[in-house]
């Protein structure tokens, strides 16, 4: 049976744009009081103002999920202003191509720091209070890319695969504690992170549509939610395809990735 989220306190990381923005906005419409966490202050304030204009409650907090002290301070601030946190959505993530020669090591390290350790730090900041109350819901936004390694996307796919396995082990470890976990693996979503993709993105979804599907899965208490289903099936079937087929399907993505990294300005800000 789907549960109501009205009256809950939710914390969403990566809330300054894309899926995180839509998750926070829609949760507020459902009656949640929402903690908004991301690295960029101005977009967070804009979202908080939009939620307030819709008669909702939101607290913006600037923090880098890849920095444990910052995320723990963010949780403390949200608790102080909104009360005990019932729902945590570890959504913040980045997507950087993995180059071949030379390997862009700084991008690889940053991908794991944000995509994997950001989830671990977010979960660890939420757990003590939830364990004490014997209630709560931990959600990690992963990706269908977790199920298949792709050329020029080794770090991104691996970081998301690690999130899936981490959440799976956590779910088993938390059995009997009253705390639920959900791992959400969407396909392609229109966000700033996918805006520069030059390749075809099948079944591309808007952030609004994706967030609506995610919240439905959270309300239903699903353990793992992969969507859209046709792309999910395609990705899982691709694990049985010869490497040559995958290489052919990705076309010139390696060259495009090399160009994208070369064109990125050194001072270009990271996604939320």
Domain map of the chain by residue range?
9-263
Mean per-residue pLDDT for 105-115? 97
Contact 137, 183 (CB under 8 A): no
| 91 SS3 class | coil
Q: Enumerate residues 6+ apart whose C-beta is below 8 A from 133.
A: 84, 178
Contact 190, 204 (CB under 8 A): yes
The pLDDT value recorded for residue 2 is 74
Mean per-residue pLDDT for 195-209? 73
Tens digit of each residue's pLDDT (9 = 90 or more) over 41-77:
999 999 999 999 999 999 999 999 999 999 999 999 9
Catalytic residue among 147, 156, 225, 253: 156
Is there a catalytic annotation at residue 166? no
Q: CA angle, 252 as apex, 250 and 257 as ends, to 5°?
A: 95
Higher pLDDT, 1 or 117: 117
CATH of 9-263, one of 3.40.50.720, 3.30.2320.80, 3.10.20.30, 3.30.1330.10: 3.40.50.720
Distance CA 163, CA 254 (A): 25
Distance CA 80, CA 14 (A): 20
Question: Taking the alpha carbons of 86, 87, 90, 91 in that order, is the dihedral positive or negative?
Answer: negative
The pLDDT value recorded for residue 249 is 61
Mean pLDDT of the chain: 90
């Amino acid at each position: 049976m789907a549960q109501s989220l009205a009256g809950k306190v939710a914390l969403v990381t990566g809330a300054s744009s894309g899926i995180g923005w839509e998750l926070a906005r829609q949760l507020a419409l459902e009656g949640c009081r929402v903690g908004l966490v991301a690295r960029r202050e101005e977009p967070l304030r804009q979202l908080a103002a939009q939620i307030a204009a819709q008669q909702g409650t939101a607290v913006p907090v600037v923090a880098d999920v890849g920095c444990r002290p910052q995320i723990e301070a963010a949780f403390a601030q949200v608790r102080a202003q909104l009360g005990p946190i019932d729902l945590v959505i570890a959504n913040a993530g980045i997507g950087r191509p993995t180059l071949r020669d030379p390997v862009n090591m700084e991008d690889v390290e940053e991908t794991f720091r944000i995509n994997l350790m950001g989830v671990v730090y977010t979960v660890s900041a939420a757990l003590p209070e939830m364990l004490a109350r014997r209630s709560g819901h931990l959600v990690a936004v992963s990706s269908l890319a977790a199920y298949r390694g792709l050329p020029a996307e080794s770090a991104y796919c691996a970081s998301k695969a690690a999130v899936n396995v981490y959440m799976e082990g956590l779910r088993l470890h938390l059995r009997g504690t009253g705390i639920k976990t959900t791992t959400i693996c969407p396909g392609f979503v229109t966000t700033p992170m996918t805006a520069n993709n030059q390749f075809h993105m099948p079944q591309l979804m808007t952030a609004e549509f994706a967030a609506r599907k995610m919240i439905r899965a959270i309300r239903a208490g699903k353990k793992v939610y992969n969507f859209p289903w046709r792309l999910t099936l395609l990705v899982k079937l691709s694990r049985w395809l010869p490497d040559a087929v995958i290489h052919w399907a990705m076309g010139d993505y390696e060259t495009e990735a090399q160009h994208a990294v070369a064109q990125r300005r050194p001072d270009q800000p990271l996604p939320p």
